[in-house]
Amino acid sequence: MKPAAPAALAAYAATIAAANWLTTRYGLIHLAPGITATAGTLAAGAALLARDLVQDTAGRTWVLAGITVGAALTWATSPALALASTIAFSAAELADMAIYTPLRDRGWARAVLASNLVGALLDTLLFLWLAGFPLIAATVTGQLVGKLLWATLLPVTAVTAVRRWRRAVPRYAQQP
Protein backbone atom coordinates (compact mmCIF):
# COMPACT_ATOMS: atom_id res chain seq x y z
CA MET A 1 0.00 0.00 0.00
CA LYS A 2 1.37 3.38 -1.02
CA PRO A 3 1.38 6.43 1.30
CA ALA A 4 -1.36 8.15 -0.73
CA ALA A 5 -3.75 5.20 -0.30
CA PRO A 6 -5.65 6.45 2.79
CA ALA A 7 -6.28 9.84 1.14
CA ALA A 8 -7.39 8.16 -2.10
CA LEU A 9 -9.75 5.84 -0.20
CA ALA A 10 -11.19 8.74 1.82
CA ALA A 11 -11.71 10.77 -1.37
CA TYR A 12 -13.40 7.82 -3.06
CA ALA A 13 -15.84 7.16 -0.22
CA ALA A 14 -16.49 10.90 0.14
CA THR A 15 -17.31 11.34 -3.56
CA ILE A 16 -19.79 8.45 -3.40
CA ALA A 17 -21.48 9.93 -0.32
CA ALA A 18 -21.42 13.45 -1.82
CA ALA A 19 -23.01 12.25 -5.06
CA ASN A 20 -25.84 10.61 -3.16
CA TRP A 21 -26.34 13.50 -0.74
CA LEU A 22 -26.53 16.00 -3.60
CA THR A 23 -28.99 13.77 -5.45
CA THR A 24 -31.14 13.31 -2.35
CA ARG A 25 -31.11 17.05 -1.61
CA TYR A 26 -31.59 18.47 -5.13
CA GLY A 27 -32.84 15.61 -7.35
CA LEU A 28 -32.64 16.38 -11.05
CA ILE A 29 -30.98 19.60 -12.21
CA HIS A 30 -30.82 21.30 -15.63
CA LEU A 31 -27.34 21.34 -17.16
CA ALA A 32 -28.33 22.92 -20.46
CA PRO A 33 -31.51 23.31 -22.48
CA GLY A 34 -32.99 19.83 -22.85
CA ILE A 35 -30.28 18.16 -20.72
CA THR A 36 -30.83 17.13 -17.11
CA ALA A 37 -28.84 15.07 -14.63
CA THR A 38 -29.01 14.13 -11.00
CA ALA A 39 -27.36 16.77 -8.83
CA GLY A 40 -24.68 14.32 -7.76
CA THR A 41 -23.48 13.54 -11.27
CA LEU A 42 -20.19 15.46 -11.07
CA ALA A 43 -19.32 13.89 -7.73
CA ALA A 44 -20.18 10.47 -9.17
CA GLY A 45 -17.89 11.18 -12.10
CA ALA A 46 -15.13 12.18 -9.70
CA ALA A 47 -15.67 8.86 -7.94
CA LEU A 48 -14.69 7.07 -11.14
CA LEU A 49 -11.31 8.82 -11.10
CA ALA A 50 -10.90 8.31 -7.36
CA ARG A 51 -11.57 4.59 -7.86
CA ASP A 52 -8.61 4.37 -10.20
CA LEU A 53 -6.41 6.14 -7.64
CA VAL A 54 -7.51 3.69 -4.95
CA GLN A 55 -6.66 0.75 -7.19
CA ASP A 56 -3.25 2.23 -8.04
CA THR A 57 -2.35 3.06 -4.43
CA ALA A 58 -4.07 0.36 -2.37
CA GLY A 59 -5.29 -2.41 -4.66
CA ARG A 60 -8.58 -3.70 -5.96
CA THR A 61 -9.85 -5.04 -2.63
CA TRP A 62 -9.82 -1.53 -1.20
CA VAL A 63 -12.04 -0.32 -4.05
CA LEU A 64 -14.79 -2.57 -2.72
CA ALA A 65 -14.11 -1.26 0.79
CA GLY A 66 -14.56 2.28 -0.54
CA ILE A 67 -17.93 1.38 -2.04
CA THR A 68 -18.98 -0.10 1.31
CA VAL A 69 -17.93 3.02 3.24
CA GLY A 70 -19.65 5.27 0.69
CA ALA A 71 -22.84 3.20 0.99
CA ALA A 72 -22.72 3.35 4.78
CA LEU A 73 -22.35 7.14 4.68
CA THR A 74 -25.25 7.38 2.21
CA TRP A 75 -27.48 5.12 4.30
CA ALA A 76 -27.91 7.92 6.87
CA THR A 77 -29.31 10.21 4.18
CA SER A 78 -31.42 7.78 2.16
CA PRO A 79 -31.49 3.99 2.57
CA ALA A 80 -33.25 3.56 -0.81
CA LEU A 81 -30.67 5.70 -2.59
CA ALA A 82 -27.87 3.89 -0.74
CA LEU A 83 -29.12 0.56 -2.10
CA ALA A 84 -29.48 1.86 -5.68
CA SER A 85 -26.09 3.54 -5.46
CA THR A 86 -24.33 0.49 -4.03
CA ILE A 87 -25.66 -1.80 -6.74
CA ALA A 88 -24.90 0.68 -9.53
CA PHE A 89 -21.42 1.60 -8.21
CA SER A 90 -20.52 -2.05 -7.59
CA ALA A 91 -21.51 -3.15 -11.09
CA ALA A 92 -19.88 -0.12 -12.71
CA GLU A 93 -16.70 -0.42 -10.67
CA LEU A 94 -16.30 -4.12 -11.43
CA ALA A 95 -16.69 -3.40 -15.15
CA ASP A 96 -14.38 -0.39 -14.81
CA MET A 97 -11.80 -2.52 -13.00
CA ALA A 98 -11.95 -5.23 -15.66
CA ILE A 99 -11.01 -2.63 -18.27
CA TYR A 100 -8.68 -0.38 -16.25
CA THR A 101 -6.44 -3.14 -14.89
CA PRO A 102 -5.28 -4.65 -18.20
CA LEU A 103 -4.92 -1.22 -19.85
CA ARG A 104 -3.06 0.46 -16.96
CA ASP A 105 0.37 -0.76 -18.11
CA ARG A 106 -0.22 0.81 -21.55
CA GLY A 107 -0.78 4.26 -20.08
CA TRP A 108 -2.77 5.88 -17.31
CA ALA A 109 -4.82 8.23 -19.50
CA ARG A 110 -5.85 5.47 -21.92
CA ALA A 111 -6.88 3.21 -19.04
CA VAL A 112 -8.87 5.93 -17.26
CA LEU A 113 -10.71 7.11 -20.37
CA ALA A 114 -11.69 3.62 -21.54
CA SER A 115 -12.69 2.32 -18.13
CA ASN A 116 -14.59 5.46 -17.15
CA LEU A 117 -16.59 5.35 -20.37
CA VAL A 118 -17.88 1.87 -19.56
CA GLY A 119 -18.21 2.57 -15.84
CA ALA A 120 -20.12 5.82 -16.39
CA LEU A 121 -22.55 4.23 -18.83
CA LEU A 122 -23.28 1.25 -16.59
CA ASP A 123 -23.53 3.38 -13.43
CA THR A 124 -25.84 5.86 -15.16
CA LEU A 125 -28.28 3.30 -16.52
CA LEU A 126 -28.43 1.17 -13.36
CA PHE A 127 -28.60 4.07 -10.93
CA LEU A 128 -31.31 5.99 -12.77
CA TRP A 129 -33.40 2.83 -13.13
CA LEU A 130 -32.96 1.59 -9.54
CA ALA A 131 -33.43 5.04 -7.97
CA GLY A 132 -36.60 5.69 -9.96
CA PHE A 133 -35.33 8.54 -12.13
CA PRO A 134 -36.50 8.75 -15.75
CA LEU A 135 -34.44 6.81 -18.28
CA ILE A 136 -34.90 9.36 -21.01
CA ALA A 137 -32.36 10.76 -23.46
CA ALA A 138 -32.08 14.12 -21.68
CA THR A 139 -31.24 12.54 -18.33
CA VAL A 140 -28.90 9.84 -19.63
CA THR A 141 -27.11 12.42 -21.79
CA GLY A 142 -26.78 14.79 -18.84
CA GLN A 143 -25.35 12.09 -16.61
CA LEU A 144 -22.80 11.06 -19.23
CA VAL A 145 -21.80 14.65 -20.05
CA GLY A 146 -21.24 15.33 -16.36
CA LYS A 147 -19.31 12.14 -15.68
CA LEU A 148 -17.31 11.88 -18.87
CA LEU A 149 -16.67 15.46 -19.93
CA TRP A 150 -16.44 17.44 -16.72
CA ALA A 151 -15.33 14.79 -14.24
CA THR A 152 -13.13 12.62 -16.48
CA LEU A 153 -11.94 14.25 -19.70
CA LEU A 154 -11.02 17.63 -18.22
CA PRO A 155 -9.00 16.25 -15.26
CA VAL A 156 -7.27 13.64 -17.46
CA THR A 157 -6.36 16.37 -19.95
CA ALA A 158 -4.97 18.54 -17.16
CA VAL A 159 -2.90 15.70 -15.66
CA THR A 160 -1.58 14.71 -19.07
CA ALA A 161 -0.59 18.30 -19.86
CA VAL A 162 1.26 18.67 -16.54
CA ARG A 163 3.06 15.36 -17.08
CA ARG A 164 4.15 16.42 -20.58
CA TRP A 165 5.33 19.78 -19.29
CA ARG A 166 7.32 18.13 -16.49
CA ARG A 167 9.01 15.81 -19.00
CA ALA A 168 9.80 18.72 -21.33
CA VAL A 169 11.27 21.06 -18.69
CA PRO A 170 14.83 20.24 -17.56
CA ARG A 171 15.03 18.96 -13.96
CA TYR A 172 16.98 21.98 -12.70
CA ALA A 173 14.21 24.29 -13.94
CA GLN A 174 11.59 22.42 -11.88
CA GLN A 175 13.36 22.88 -8.55
CA PRO A 176 12.51 25.95 -6.45
What three-state secondary structure class fits 31? strand
Decide if 39 contacts 22 (C-beta within 8 A).
yes
Q: What is the CATH number of the domain that holds 98?
A: 1.10.1760
Which secondary-structure segment (H or E) carries 125?
A: helix 108-131
**What Cα–Cα distance (Å) separates residue 118 from each residue in 87, 112, 113, 131, 159?**
15, 10, 9, 20, 21
Threshold 0.85, pTM exceeds: no
Report the domain count for the chain.
1
User: What is the chain's pLDDT, residue by residue, as a tens digit (176 residues)?
Assistant: 899 999 999 999 999 899 999 999 999 999 888 899 999 988 888 888 888 889 889 988 898 898 889 889 888 888 988 899 889 988 988 888 899 889 989 998 999 999 989 988 999 999 999 999 999 999 999 999 888 887 888 888 988 998 898 888 776 655 66
Residue 27 lies in domain: 5-174
Instruction: Check residue 37 and give left, alpha or beta (phi > 0: left; psi -120 to 50: alpha).
Output: beta
